Amino acid sequence: MTYVSELLGQVMGSLLRNKLRSFLTMAGIAWGLASMVLVVAMGDSFKEGQRNSTKQLGQKLVILFGGRTEMQAGGQRAGRRIRLNIADLTSLRHEAFLLKTVALELENGLKATSPYNSGSFDVSGVEAHYPNLRTLPIGEGRFFTDTEAAAGARVCVIGRDVKKQLFASRPGTVGTQVALNGIPYRVVGVLADKDQNSSYSGLDEKKIFMPYEAMARDMPPSKNYRPGDLDEVLYQAREGTDSLVVEKQVRKVLAHNHDYDPADENAMHMWDTVESQKQVDGIFDSMTVFLGFIAFVTLSLGGIGVMNIMLVTVSERTREIGLRKALGATRGRILADFLVEGTVLAFVSGFVGWSVAFGLSSALKLVKMPDMFPGLPVSWETTGIAFATLTVIAILSALFPAWRACSLTPVEALRYER
């Protein structure tokens, strides 16, 4: 305990003898460590924001769109348009055993009229389990059931913006009838608010969802539509499966149905949100490493400052070192004193920097942040990496001055004059 008190006294004495120099040195270490923590936290925040954005579409979702062939196969010409249909949906459910859930979607535009107002909106004909793949939170009422979907019941679920247009702020929307292209439909649900900044066919808040059977019967797309055609097929793979293996199986099934080469990727477009997320994570990881390296350089410069101040301290205390050696202090004790003194100086500075970073992170938690940047999460892993880096820099910075101090002979030290 006495040794620790003596050591802390020496550190404080060194700091107070040169206040400005000490402040600048500590500021360099503090800023370097704070920068490292905040840069990593920023990268983690952007990755989390991107994940939140992807979740607004659906969890582990893959969306299939028809395309055009670029390769000749089965005696068919290249350039054929491939459009998804009900037969593809059935084949995927029976033959693609790596898939967990498959759902269809048919799209169109329509005019909706309520007792109060009217407007033009996008409509999607889907199945009852469609919300199991997509993120469609219900704010009022419910989504339509399997029975209603199979029967082609004239029911619908409307987005929040659709409700505002047709009903404004009036209560009791659920159960009300609206005319969709002049045909009466009953509103059974209203979507809750959602922050959606990405989509593949429009924002959900501006859409109307109805049973596929009802849409195909009452208001099918008029342009080049054939009964059974679909605009998209959505699927989720089983847990633990490799997305590329799943994709290969899906392409093989669809290529067999439409008589094109499975290697012809343009014949069927795929948006794999899982793979897209991995690519985005890789971009942010690269950015974090680059900016983290810059922060590391800043921290290293702070370490050079610690080395300088320790060298000055050794110079100022040369006669003291000589006297202590003459009285029996060992080289190991002198080495340990200065090494620990420099390390303590660096760690006090580092703790100040970490406290600033953590304080900023905590303050941002009190403010409503956008989903794309949910704050600056300072994790224990980031803290551990930052202080491990600081430990290495602190030891390397204090080692040379400490070695120089312990290498002085008592005679040289006592004869030293500044």
Q: Write out pLDDT tens, residues 282-335.
A: 777 787 777 777 777 777 777 777 777 777 766 766 677 667 667 676 777 777
pLDDT of 15 reads 65
pLDDT tens-digit readout, 3-55: 667 666 666 666 666 667 677 777 778 888 888 888 888 888 877 777 777 77
- Residue 119 in any domain: the answer is yes
- Residue 76 in any domain: the answer is no
Same domain as 194, residue 122: yes
Same domain as 285, residue 159: no
pLDDT of 371 reads 66
Same domain as 410, residue 318: yes
β-bridge pairing 118-126 and 183-191: unpaired
More confident residue, 148 or 403: 148
| Residue 85 clears pLDDT 80, i.e. is over it | yes
- Mean pLDDT computed over every residue of the chain: 82
297 touches 39 (CB < 8 A): no
More confident residue, 341 or 91: 91
Same domain as 311, residue 408: yes
Return the bridge partners of 101, or none.
Answer: 236
418 touches 324 (CB < 8 A): no
More confident residue, 52 or 355: 355
In this predicted structure, which of 132-146, 320-334, 336-350 has the lowest mean pLDDT? 320-334
Q: How far apart are CA 42 and CA 35, in angstroms?
A: 10
DSSP string, 302-351: HHHHHHHHHHHHHHHTHHHHHHHHHTT--HHHHHHHHHHHHHHHHHHHHH
Same domain as 196, residue 296: no
Domain boundary among 167, 197, 230: 230
The number of folded domains in the chain is 2
Q: How far apart are CA 232 and CA 229, in angstroms?
A: 9
- Residue 112 in any domain: the answer is yes
- Residue 246 in any domain: the answer is no
More confident residue, 302 or 180: 180
- Residue 257 in any domain: the answer is no
What is the percent of the chain where pLDDT is above 90?
34
pLDDT tens-digit readout, 86-99: 999 999 999 999 99
349 touches 25 (CB < 8 A): yes
pLDDT of 73 reads 65
Same domain as 158, residue 222: yes
Other beta carbons less than 10 A from residue 365's beta carbon: 11
| Residue 416 clears pLDDT 60, i.e. is over it | no
| Residue 1 clears pLDDT 60, i.e. is over it | no
- Residue 162 in any domain: the answer is yes
Same domain as 284, residue 225: no
Q: Which residues contact 311 (CB under 8 A, 6 or more apart)?
A: 400, 401, 404
Read off the pLDDT of each residue in 126-153 and give the average, rounded to a whole number.
93
Same domain as 402, residue 307: yes
More confident residue, 366 or 267: 267
pLDDT of 3 reads 64
- Residue 87 in any domain: the answer is no
In 197-272, alpha helices (H): 212-218, 243-258
Read off the pLDDT of each residue in 189-215 and give the average, rounded to a whole number.
87
- Residue 135 in any domain: the answer is yes
Domain boundary among 230, 256, 289: 230
Same domain as 385, residue 285: yes
In this predicted structure, which of 146-150, 225-229, 356-360, 409-413 has the lowest mean pLDDT? 409-413
Same domain as 292, residue 225: no
Helix (H, G, I), strand (E, B) or coil at 227: coil
pLDDT of 368 reads 77
296 touches 36 (CB < 8 A): yes
More confident residue, 400 or 108: 108
Same domain as 348, residue 404: yes
Domain span at residue 293 reads: 2-54+278-415
Same domain as 392, residue 291: yes
In the chain, what's the furthest Cα-to-Cα distance? 106
Q: How far apart are CA 106 and CA 123, in angstroms?
A: 8
pLDDT band at 160 (very low <50, low <70, confident <90, very high): very high
Return the bridge partners of 222, or none.
Answer: none
Token duo for residue 41: 């936290």
β-bridge pairing 155-158 and 268-272: unpaired
pLDDT tens-digit readout, 392-405: 877 777 777 767 76
